[in-house]
Amino acid sequence: MITQLSPKVIPANERLIFALDVPDLSSAKRMVDALGEAVTFYKIGLELFMSGSYFELIDWLGTQNKRIFCDLKFFDVPETVARAVRQLQNRGVDFVTVHGNDTMLEAAAAQKNGLRILAVTVLTSLDRSDLDALGFRCDVEDLVLSRARKALRLGCDGVISSGLEAKRLRADLGDRFLVVSPGIRPVDNRPEDDQKRVVSVEQAFCNGADYIVVGRPIKHATDPRAAAEKIQSTISSLFKS
């Protein structure tokens, strides 16, 4: 297998981001406590945002020395996006997602002030038929690459992209930006899974991803901590010096 392992200096244990998709603050804290040192980087999204304890959770994760990825996919008029990004400054947040057009991405990038802005390319829950229904008649890889080029030109720090497209991104755009890949499935997809464009841990990193986002394969495991540790072991073996 030809690999394009990320050359960036990133601690191996931080390359795994756990999707903390739970309904409330107490559930989030229990999960973080259960995972312990097996996970150091957490993605928190809309479900927890709507719980009303989002910023309390951000502050608590900071006290636990965890890294934080705010996955809110800002999509609004540019000034509103800019103001939303400013609300996350000076809170210890590492990554923020924006899912919008050029002016929204540019507005977010202008306000990052230490945050790293990640542009969403094509959601991993969408496949070819979904894109057709949305009116996108181009190839998925071409669409991802086009959006990535624009995002980098506008000042974003990286993109959210399936590991399937990571190889093409690296081949065309090099290593100067971050690729964060969700849709990671260490085991076969379950019928109820809503992720469609999926890859394994090894495939994502060998295609050039810097980070992977894993949720259900850890959350729904019989032993979530053991599941996370197994993924960490795989990552460590890939990036051993």
Q: E-strand spans in 56-188?
A: 67-74, 95-98, 116-120, 158-160, 178-181
Answer for the pair 21, 47: CB distance below 8 angstroms, yes or no.
yes
* Nearest CA-CA partner of 73 in 51, 44, 52, 35: 44
Q: How far is CA 158 from CA 135, 192, 220, in A?
A: 25, 30, 29
Contacts (Cβ under 8 Å, ≥6 apart) of 121: 143, 144, 147, 148, 151, 159, 160, 161, 165
Catalytic site positions: 73
Cα dihedral 95→101→102→108 (10° resolution): -30
Answer for the pair 102, 68: CB distance below 8 angstroms, yes or no.
no
- The Cα–Cα gap between 182 and 162 comes to 6
- The Cα–Cα gap between 26 and 57 comes to 9
Contacts (Cβ under 8 Å, ≥6 apart) of 72: 45, 46, 49, 84, 96, 97
| Cα 119 versus chain centre, distance | 10
